[in-house]
Structure formats: C-alpha cells, structure tokens
Amino acid sequence: MSTELERIVRKLFDDLDQTNYDGIVGRSATDVQAVEEIRRRWMRSRDELKDYFAQFESVMSGAKSELSDIHETSWEDTGLVTFWLEQSYLLDGEEQHVSAPTSMLFRREGGDWKLVLAHSVPVAPEEDDR
C-alpha cells in the first residue's frame, strides 16, 4: 500500500517522464533546493527550478523513471522519502541512464505537501569481476 508522500513522489516522476515540468514546479515550495547536474550547482528557488526545466523542453525525450526501495518518514509538517531511482532518457539524441539513491524532503504548506529538497547521488554501474 502506498502512502501519501509516495504517491506524490511517483506523481512528480510521472510528470518528469511526461515532460510536465509545470506540474513539478507547482508541487515545489518557493524555496525548493535541488542539484543542477549540468552546471554542477545548487538551485535554490522555484524560479531556478523552472528555468532548469525550460532548458530541457526541446532536447530531452523518452524519459522513464523507476522507483524502488521506497521508505517514508514524517514528523508533523515535514516528510522524507528515500528510494532508489533508475532512470533512462534521451538528451540531444544520446541515451542516458542514471542509477541513484535519492532523497526528497517535503514540507506541508496550507494542507499540501510541497517539495523542498531533491537530491540524488548517481552511482557508476558495478564492474563485472569475471
């Protein structure tokens, strides 16, 4: 049985896979923080997140995100969801794949959960020792 925060996380990734970036931005707090992998820096506002997604509108396609090992913890108006992300997509026509433990932190605002922090740590594929 999925929890409320798990459903929200899955919806965020469904929005990403369907290039509904406005949906992601709309579910984010005004002070959301996330890592911007391309320029290797932190984004620290909803406006920066919106600008980040705008650069992908014409160059990213075919995103498919799979989440596993999902764990949720919440404390009053704060919620944490950790999971493993397997994601593939085309960027400028080149296949990309990300395998990453991921954390998403949420804060309840006006009764709605808003994303305040998204953080993934991509890991290299395991080497075959044979």
For the sheet containing 94-109, what is the strand order? 41-43, 28-36, 112-120, 94-109, 78-91, 60-75
Q: Going from the N-terminus, what domains does the chain have, and what CATH number goes with each?
A: 4-120 (3.10.450.50)
Instruction: Give the Cα separation of 33 and 107 in Å (integer).
Output: 12
Q: What is the pLDDT of residues 23-80, one digit of tens each?
A: 999 999 999 999 987 778 999 999 999 999 998 888 888 999 999 999 999 999 999 9
Q: Residue 106: beta bridge partners?
A: 79, 115
Q: What is the pLDDT of residues 66-119, one digit of tens each?
A: 999 999 999 999 999 999 999 999 988 999 999 999 999 999 999 999 999 999
Cβ distance 67 to 83 under 8 Å?
yes
Number of other residues whose CB lies within 10 A of the CB of residue 30 = 11
Which residues, at least 6 apart from 85, have a Cβ–Cβ distance to it below 8 Å? 13, 65, 66, 67, 98, 99, 100, 101, 102, 120
